[in-house]
Amino acid sequence: MTDTPELLLAHHLKALKLPTFLREYDKLARQCAAEGVDHTRYLLRLAELELIERERRMVDRRIKDAKFPAVKSLDSFDFLALPSLNKALVLELARSEYVSRRDNIIAVGNSGTGKTHIVLGLGLAACQKGLSVGFTTAAALVHELIEARDEKRLLRLQRQLATYKLLIIDELGYVPFSQTGAELLFEVFSRRYERGSTIVTSNLPFDEWTGVFASERLTGALLDRLTHHVHILEMNGDSYRLKQSKRRSRNTPDDASQT
């Protein structure tokens, strides 16, 4: 018994990796027939559906590979709550053109002002522009680097970190590093200098970074590389998380039995 055209078509579309074609061709054919659309426009619509779905899958893959702790967009950030932040600059950076110029971004401000939200939004925008992104905290990265050195796979990890078009290093300054950790982290920045864009968030002003790296020489060399082509996001203000917590507390009935 010979295979029906439908079975053969399904087989070929799977082999060609065109799942949207396979899923939509019959429904779209009926729709186009009802609308009097010719075969060329029918094929055009199918091709467009396939391209849209393929791009969506690629964005999803880039987001997964970035290892974001959460997916947050700039649309959900309350810029009014942080007047010190240059909204126009943030929206310009969301175009991701700084990545092609290999510029860096440093978001500096006290805790709870939304630095991580902003850089997650910029990372998401970069993924949507087709760029490879990696996300980590400074403490986690240093731990990973030391572990890789001890297991004789440091060079492989360094090469992987260098391949990202955009590397986001969050929470620099929360934990001081050992001399070894500071030197390994410096090497990451050094390898990316003028080769890839790096975003750093920190709760410390630049003149206090020496306390993290425990070396004026290393701190100076690091800042020299980071700030050569850089966009600074000033994010000092009242803690957004604290305000949210207080708002929730005000909205919670005193008598738990009322809830």
Q: How many CB atoms lie within 10 A of CB 22?
A: 17
Distance between CA atoms of residues 211 and 166, nearest Å: 26
Element (H, E) at 184: helix 179-192
**Contact criterion met (CB below 8 Å) for 62 and 131:** yes
CA dihedral for 25, 26, 29, 30, sign (positive or negative): negative
Determine the pLDDT at residue 70.
96
Determine the pLDDT at residue 238.
72
Determine the pLDDT at residue 249.
57
Distance between CA atoms of residues 47 and 140, nearest Å: 43
Distance between CA atoms of residues 89 and 231, nearest Å: 9
Task: Provide the 3-class DSSP secondary structure of residue 195.
Answer: coil
Determine the pLDDT at residue 1.
46
pLDDT in tens, 70-123: 999 999 999 999 998 999 999 999 999 999 999 999 999 998 899 999 999 999
Query: Domain 74-243 falls in which CATH fold?
Result: Rossmann fold (3.40.50)
Q: How many CB atoms lie within 10 A of CB 228?
A: 12
Structure tokens belonging to residue 129: 């522009």
pLDDT in tens, 42-67: 999 999 998 989 999 999 999 999 99
Does the structure show a pLDDT above 60 at 258? no
Q: Where in the chain are the domains? A: 8-65, 74-243
Closest CA to 167 of 199, 120, 128, 119: 199
Distance between CA atoms of residues 200 and 222, nearest Å: 12
Determine the pLDDT at residue 6.
87
What mean pLDDT, rounded, does the chain reach? Answer: 90
Average pLDDT over residues 138-162: 96
**How far apart are the two ends of the chain, measured CA to CA in Å?**
67
Average pLDDT over residues 173-191: 93
pLDDT above 70 coverage of the chain, percent: 91
pTM score, whole prediction? 0.83
Residues forming beta bridges with residue 118, ordered by sequence position: none
Average pLDDT over residues 182-211: 94
Distance between CA atoms of residues 174 and 194, nearest Å: 26
**Contact criterion met (CB below 8 Å) for 139 and 216:** no
Determine the pLDDT at residue 243.
57
Does the structure show a pLDDT above 70 at 247? no
